[in-house]
Amino acid sequence: MVIVDSHTHLYDMKKGYELPADILPVVAGYSHSSNRKAVELREQKGYPIILGIAPQTAIKKDIERLDEWVDFIRQNKPNGIGEVGLDYKWAQTTKDIENERIVFERMISLAKEMDLPIIIHSRNNPNENDLPKDAVDDILPLVKGMRVLMHFYSGTAEQAEKIVADGGYISMTHMRSKERRKVINIVPLDRLLVESDCPYVGKSPESIREAVAYIAEAKGLDVETVGQATAANAAKFFNFRL
């Protein structure tokens, strides 16, 4: 059985890392340079990829070059546009928020133009300041009607319910919490994916085995059923064959 890691930054793993034969990774970019690395990996290994400019990049880099970055994504025909979204944890000023929104709106129109699904990064603002707090609440109206996957989902169970009702998908890492367990219970198995987000969240794609086990345990299913279902959901969402 092949299981799918629906979100990896495999090009950032230590040199010499060998992926187990039973894991298929979806390689995600977040910046122009990482998008290029994802395309290289596809050329070498044939992995499905998603390309996008993430909110972190919208803050850190000079977005004057956005046109050039968008052209690269357009030319390289990814399986989806991502990771993109709003990160209110990283944003420190209204200018940061503005830049994040400019880039995110551009990514939304690119996904619509290319008729591709969109893979969302969202993080709330944990700080005591006047900047916006809830990224998921601000993202949802912008992506209404699109094919949406919430990557490394960190919203509430109530928000997850809304996303699913609108046809969206939710991707879980191996990380556990009370709220995440509620999310797993509320989201039907045919809308759940697993990911490592390695090497930043999971150490390697192998951490999806724990994510699969977590879902199996919370839903009272066996590991094979969850492994197969999450792989099939990923293949359907990203439009590739297992």
Name the site residues for Zn ion (rule: CB under 5 A).
197
Cα separation, 169 vs 148, in Å, equals 6
Q: Give the residue with the Cβ less far from Zn ion, 10 or 140.
A: 10
Q: How far is the CB of 220 from Zn ion (least distance, A)?
A: 30
Q: How far is the CB of 218 from Zn ion (least distance, A)?
A: 23
Q: Sheet of 23-28: strands edge to edge?
A: 3-8, 23-28, 49-51, 80-87, 118-123, 148-150, 169-172, 192-194
E strands, 139-194, in order: 148-150, 169-172, 192-194
Q: How far is the CB of 197 from Zn ion (least distance, A)?
A: 5
Q: Give the residue with the Cβ less far from Zn ion, 172 or 216.
A: 172
Q: Which residue number places its CB atom closest to Zn ion?
A: 197
Q: How far is the CB of 222 from Zn ion (least distance, A)?
A: 29
Cα separation, 116 vs 119, in Å, equals 10
Write phi, then psi, for 172 (nearest 5 degrees): -115, 145
Q: How far is the CB of 187 from Zn ion (least distance, A)?
A: 20
* Position 152, amino acid: F
Q: Give the residue with the Cβ less far from Zn ion, 38 or 63.
A: 38
Q: Give the residue with the Cβ less far from Zn ion, 205 or 216.
A: 205
Q: Give the residue with the Cβ less far from Zn ion, 138 or 197.
A: 197
147 in Cβ contact with 239 (< 8 Å): no
101 in Cβ contact with 109 (< 8 Å): no
Q: Give the residue with the Cβ less far from Zn ion, 5 or 96.
A: 5
CA 236 → CA 110, 155, 193, 221, distances in Å? 20, 23, 11, 21
Q: How far is the CB of 112 from Zn ion (least distance, A)?
A: 22
